[in-house]
Amino acid sequence: MILDKVNYPADIKKLSLVELEELAREIRHYMLQVVSETGGHLASSLGAVELTIALHYVFNTPEDKIIWDVGHQAYSHKILTGRKEKFKTIRRFGGLSGFPKRKESPYDSYDVGHSSTSISLAVGEAAGRDLLQRDYKIVAVIGDGSLTGGMAFEGLNHLGHIGKDVIVVLNDNEQSISENVGALSRYLTEMISGSLYNTFRKKSMKFVKGIPIIGKPIFEFAYRAIASFKNFIIPGQLFEDMGLRYFGPVDGHNLSELIKIFDRVKDINSGPKLVHVLTKKGRGFVHAETDPCTFHGTGPFDIETGHSKKKGGEESFSSVVGRTLAHIAKLDDTVVAVTAAMKEGTGLAVFEDVAPDRLFDVGIAEQHAVTFSAAMASSGLKPFVSIYSTFYQRAYDQIIHDVAIMNLPVRFLIDRAGIVGDDGETHHGLFDISMFRNVPNIEFFAPSNGEELRNAIYYAWNRNDGPTAIRYPRGSSLTIGLDVTKAGSFFPGKAKILSKGKDVAIIAVGDMLGVAIKTEEILKAKGIEATVINLLSIKPLDTETIIEAIKSCRGFITMENGYINGGIGEHIYSLLPAELCVKRLFACGFPDVFVTHGTFDELLREYKLDHSSVAQRIEESLRDR
Ligand SMILES: Cc1ncc(C[n+]2csc(CCOP(=O)(O)OP(=O)(O)O)c2C)c(N)n1
């Protein structure tokens, strides 16, 4: 096995082309074995194997910087940069991260996870290199999907202006998670099909030059004609016009071609360049090639059949959202749904089946998604915009400036709120509580199960006097086959009391209610009686119920799947009269650190937020009272 002898990029520089090709096959095989067990971003990484080998072969990493965009395609990069064995632990608690991390390796230039950052990082790195008079190469690798993100345009705009020696590699597989969307994507596709132009140019020049005597003048004439013609058919004219020299398109699975073009581009020591590389998402694994969307981010699966190893069962929160909205869309043709390149993940694919002209996939463009929804709401439509909690961070100003100030009835669906598990630090949705609860005009809810979520969506549908936000976690809604054709009652500003006790009040939010109920059971066995409150409505807040519950107990705690800083616990504490403040035992939430990857249960245990730890902490705290 060639892979046995390869641990670092220096090892691949000694290999022949045939050996490099064999290495690519072995890396794919290894990646498939591991990811079929651990789950992960398989299809993107399979598509980037040759690209990664060629980059490490040609460039002198880690002195030369490879800057990955999103970083989900960087599995071969991890395998080739000293992490071959550890790769087996990818995305597991205590194991390798699924994304590049500086603390893991000097070959990981930046921590990434959110899209469209690589060009800005490359331009900043180049500014530093040049002002500090250093000498190394900088390569930003960005996918065609990530290129639809606004930041990528901002970066390109600046790069073309500042003219730094930066190489942008456009890894174009015509896929985002699902099929890529947008005018730029269409431009790239047309450009690729127009690459016939290149062949035509090469062949005709060869022919004309070959004609004796008259060959040269005709050649010059033909060249001028083609040069003016190129303005509208040359591939990459858009990038050329922005000030980047365009190279390609090149076959991203042909190592010889890749190495040749990177060698050439590396030696051009000035100005920005863009190398357009065509790859196939899921390359080398038939199931991923035919269904790259499912294998973009997959759980464990059977290699033979490609089937997921996950057992069916309770429906996810996202699926409840999709089905509920699809039903509402049938009743009300002013209802529209917006996704930022996450149609499947947010459950909105079923909405598209019902109302294809009312589902807007705007690409990886969260800021635009929110402002676009603001104007749709103003025009009289009823927009539901569904974005993962972590990606709403991109659109915070738009939420405040374009929606809340004008009090427009945009319905924000905050998917993957709280801990998301194996994607880790960059993807946990731990900020949305503090983000949304501080914005005037927004009503903000945290359902604890599918039924409450459905009811909240119906409420938001009928609420037209301001913005509504609903947060819910990744995973099970605790319901099976929920009837989404009708809603139960939903009262904003009303908390639900699930049980009454005299010792401790547990005020729980969203999915932490499950932990609260288990905590209560443990306490009961020890003779400690708890009041359990399902807060449900973060804003308006049911201060009356909360204060009454605290008054009638010896102590209280709050539980939320978010940061303690700026969280609900802090807020409730700030509202209490002084004599009740002293009853606070502690606040359950995440401390002021970035939380690593791991399962929900592992991470709760790590931060003493699991039911056993919480029960023990309550018992100890009450003992001192
Ligand atoms: C700001 C942001 N929004 C959404 C995502 C979720 N996301 C991860 S990868 C991806 C698609 C990226 O497509 P592309 O750049 O073409 O890479 P490919 O997977 O096709 O190689 C999306 C939408 C993200 N990481 N960051």
Each residue's pLDDT tens digit, 387-407? 999 999 999 999 999 999 999
Asked if 132 and 74 sit in the same domain, the reply is yes
Give me ligand 1 centre to Cα 51, in Å: 18
Asked if 502 and 405 sit in the same domain, the reply is no
Residue 513 — very low, low, confident or very high, per pLDDT cuts 50/70/90? very high
pLDDT reported for residue 206 = 55
Residue 208 — very low, low, confident or very high, per pLDDT cuts 50/70/90? very low
Find the DSSP H helices in 305-413: 317-331, 349-354, 366-379, 389-392, 396-398
Query: Which residues are the active-site residues?
Result: 281, 366, 394
Asked if 428 and 513 sit in the same domain, the reply is no
Give me ligand 1 centre to Cα 98, in Å: 14
Asked if 185 and 213 sit in the same domain, the reply is no
Asked if 474 and 551 sit in the same domain, the reply is no
Asked if 33 and 109 sit in the same domain, the reply is yes
Asked if 534 and 599 sit in the same domain, the reply is yes
Asked if 203 and 173 sit in the same domain, the reply is no
The yes-or-no verdict on residue 459 having pLDDT over 80 is yes
Residue 515 vs residues 51, 146, 519: alpha-carbon distances, Å:
46, 37, 6
Residue 476 — very low, low, confident or very high, per pLDDT cuts 50/70/90? very high
Give me ligand 1 centre to Cα 301, in Å: 22
Query: Is residue 89 in a domain?
Result: yes
Which of 98-102, 222-226, 372-376, 515-519 shows the lowest per-residue confidence on average (mean pLDDT)? 222-226
Query: Is residue 300 in a domain?
Result: no
Asked if 546 and 561 sit in the same domain, the reply is yes
Query: Is residue 597 in a domain?
Result: yes
pLDDT reported for residue 198 = 53
Asked if 36 and 185 sit in the same domain, the reply is yes
Query: Side chain identity at 530, as an amino acid letter?
Result: A
Give me ligand 1 centre to Cα 495, in Å: 37
How many Å apart are CA 76 and CA 71, to the nearest integer?
11
Q: Which of 115, 278, 386, 388 to mutate to test the pocket of ligand 1 (most atoms within 8 A of CB)?
A: 115
- Domain boundary pick from 431, 450, 479: 479
Three-state SS string over 150-164 comes to: HHHHHHHHHHHHHCC
pTM of the model: 0.93
Domain hosting residue 325, numbered range = 315-479
Q: What angle do CA 300, 70, 591 make, to 5 degrees?
A: 80
Query: Is residue 486 in a domain?
Result: no
Q: Taking CB atoms and a 6 Å cutoff, what residues make up the pocket around ligand 1?
A: 44, 47, 70, 72-73, 114-115, 143-146, 171, 173, 175-177, 281, 340-342, 364, 366, 391, 394
Asked if 369 and 459 sit in the same domain, the reply is yes
Give the residue with greater pLDDT, 84 vs 202. 84
Residue 233 — very low, low, confident or very high, per pLDDT cuts 50/70/90? low
What residue owns the CA closest to ligand 1's atom 17?
A: 143
Average pLDDT in the chain: 93
How many Å apart are CA 366 and CA 391, to the nearest integer?
7
Q: Which of 51, 70, 147, 366 to mutate to test the pocket of ligand 1 (most atoms within 8 A of CB)?
A: 70
**Average pLDDT over every residue of 331-346:** 97
pLDDT reported for residue 194 = 63
The yes-or-no verdict on residue 196 having pLDDT over 50 is no
Q: How many domains does the chain have?
A: 4
Domain at 43, CATH number: 3.40.50.970
Residue 195 — very low, low, confident or very high, per pLDDT cuts 50/70/90? low
Please list the residues that pair with 40 across neighbouring strands: 298
